[in-house]
Chain A
């Protein structure tokens, strides 16, 4: 994402460091540290808003997003307030990720080879191989498509947001220099590229402006003061200890946050020193402003004890009131899965499943939910081994406008891609329902959110049009092949895909696989599928499945264009069921 350049050069300098203006309505945006999440939010998180991240169960991707947010703040020189109860805030700050390319200053950073992810590297190698072998794969990066040449005129389907190449030009210019030259506010990149394998450097940690609030300690302090006053239950008694005024944890945390905002001068209405002369109004004053990033880890986790069920809501309401009039933004993660009943947890419509969390979402400007495949009941993981989980977007910020910016600007939420807009296309409306499902993957070096789709059967480079000689090929070898083609470790089980994925984008593969299972292939117990002719299978479906067009080598088993229903379609097959046609697909 190239840094946003305003037409008026003087306006560029007037923004606080690390911010940019929204292309849609001119709001000040800050980056969450993850380019694809910025894209979903419509360019970035608007200043003054709250993003709620509903955490996943057995993994800590929610906290990872929070770390990205804080790390980006440190890069930009923003004040970072870290509130955490389960983990100590110091531990979180120490475990922040480092900047990509920072370590390898002397090595070949110019070519940028080291900074690419493993998958990109592999893709490039595959392309080279295909080009060398003269393959006419439509995935080849040649501009001229030889098979699907009719598609060359259409816009390329963007399934992901490209990570910005690291802004190392300002650092690497002096070869061998170990000290970072101080970056002026206009040089600080909007969203830096980070490296998950490295840790934040000690130098950056020292220069970071952080405020750590340990809610566990606060809680103990509150309890200690409360126990002193256990005998006094009368509200009217004059308070002697300070604990009397701070009866509960959320209130304490909010007070501390407010204090930080006031002391740091981030609030435009609550001033530290009302009698001091106000900073000069106008654009010039903004450049000296800094942003205050508030990151709250696992709010409302069991260690946060509240007095009333309304505490958290009041906390969010008051926080919104604070932030709306301040130069700050908050990212809050919440273990939402703890707040639902058994039935609610399996709701399939993708919405939040607990009324408690739903209420909180009303007050947050943006709300996303992470659902990781780790330990999932369904076997979705084996089919989608490229992804680590699903990413649901419940709400995007709508500030000072009728529609959210992401409707116009977002690539992932299908905003920018207008395409033909014909029937059968479901795009994003006011909500992002009906738009492509999003999944996330955590590579070795970065976290990316992309359109979730099942990869073609057999992997990209291994689509075959002739029979595989090995008769022992079974479904397990298939998934093994897929595992080897992607570089990530996934928690998939190598069992057969049962096709019980709830929200997968491509229905064709699912129905074919499930049909293959359910057909009870008698004469080929190893799992090879006989070719059948299926009426009504269109050329398009076959292409998407990676199968050769109809007519080659007889009929092929093809997918049917059923929309999103579960497994179990049985089609009438042609008489070739018993024939010993060579199988075109190996399962």
Chain B
């Protein structure tokens, strides 16, 4: 169930999942990576047989698969079932990735992606059979289609449309029975969008649109943004972080310890209330103390993350 020690601190109304219609924003720093939280939510939702759409703007599917394996979820089977959808935002996102038109003309006619490849395209393992130049074939098992690729467009609106299509597709495919499945849309790394040139305003608009979209499909939105203190000097970086916080219901802030590095405690994570939470609280949608604002320490282990109260690390006790 993800990281057991983290479970008790998350909102309990829909535990182990997040309440639908909410937005959880995770911020981290270079010294303390917030990636482990994403893996936690992915594994929770998959184990609960709900839908996950993961947009990897900085990481590849293999990474999530391997970590998922350590946490006890098999992302490959989840993909076949239709629960898990990975969107590749790494290879084609910017205009740099698209090969030049004249270069393309030199190559042979691109073949449609075949689905008979037998392995993931990670270097240490095996190679895949033919692939289109513009669309990497990343099939993990025979009947799987390759993950969707976000290709470059000057406007983020296109990105939104693409994601909208994917979410609709996922939701409709897995609509079994009377109850709708819960969905979570995870954006790994909003900072990539900002740094690749799209203006801060557009990125924030995207976040807002996605939040509303996901709420329609009984889901939550989780984003990761890099928020080092160093970057606060730049207006666009700071603006993105603050803007995302402003939209959020729940905020998890991951940072290193102020006093330096330690072997027993890798950093601290703060569970905070966003403005959305306060609104919901006032309107009575949340119970008292559903999500107490806390600061905890954590330590990352090989296949688990221990979250404990300050001063209670196993090295001390």
Binding site for B on A (CB under 8 A): 21, 25-28, 47-48, 242, 245-246, 250-251, 254-255, 258-259, 268-271, 273-275, 278-279, 281-282, 285-286, 308, 310, 313-315, 317-318, 320-322, 324-327, 351-353, 355, 358-359, 361-363, 394-395, 398-403, 414, 421, 425-435
Contacts and interface: CB of A to CB of B under 8 A. Distances in A.
A275 B111 contact: yes
Interface string B83-112: 000000011111111011111000110110
A351 B29 CA distance: 12
Contacts of B124: 21, 26-28, 47, 286
B231 A358 contact: yes
Given A318-B96, A362-B226, A433-B256, 11 more contacts: A251-B95, A269-B121, A270-B136, A286-B124, A314-B196, A317-B90, A317-B96, A320-B90, A427-B263, A429-B266, A434-B262
Contact of A271 (B62, B130, B303): B130
A398 B66 CA distance: 12
Contact of A355 (B62, B237, B261): B237
B contacts with A: majority SS: loop
Interface in B118-173: 118-119, 121-124, 126-133, 136-138
Contacts of A430: 31-33, 266-267, 300
A431 B32 contact: yes
B260 interface: yes
Given A285-B126, A351-B230, A315 B96 contact: yes
Contacts of A245: 100-102
Contacts, number: 209
B147 to A, nearest CB: 12
Contacts of B261: 426-429, 431-435
A408 B301 CA distance: 11
B260 to A, nearest CB: 5
Interface in B241-273: 256, 260-267
Contacts of A314: 94-96, 196-197
Contacts of A433: 31, 256, 260-261
Contact of B90 (A286, A324, A355, A361): A324
A271 to B, nearest CB: 6
Given A245-B101, A278-B128, A310 B191 contact: no
Given A254-B96, A269-B121, A325 B266 contact: no
Nearest to B120: A268
Most-contacted residue by chain B among A271, A313, A433 (CB, 10 A): A271
Contacts of B267: 429-430
Contact of A269 (B63, B131, B264, B315): B131
Interface residues of B, number: 76
B127 A355 contact: no
Contact of A268 (B67, B123, B192, B315): B123
B263 A429 contact: yes
Interface string B32-52: 110110010000000000000
A489 B108 CA distance: 58
B255 to A, nearest CB: 11
Contact of A401 (B70, B102, B132): B70
A403 B300 contact: yes
Interface string B49-71: 00000000010101100110010
Contacts of B288: none
B103 A255 contact: yes
A353 to B, nearest CB: 8
A398 B36 CA distance: 11
A282 B35 CA distance: 31
Given A314-B197, A362-B226, A402-B39, A426 B260 contact: yes
Contacts of A275: 108, 111, 130
B262 A363 contact: no
Interface in B63-83: 63, 66-67, 70
A363 B230 contact: no
Contacts of B39: 402
Contacts of A325: 60, 91, 121-123, 136
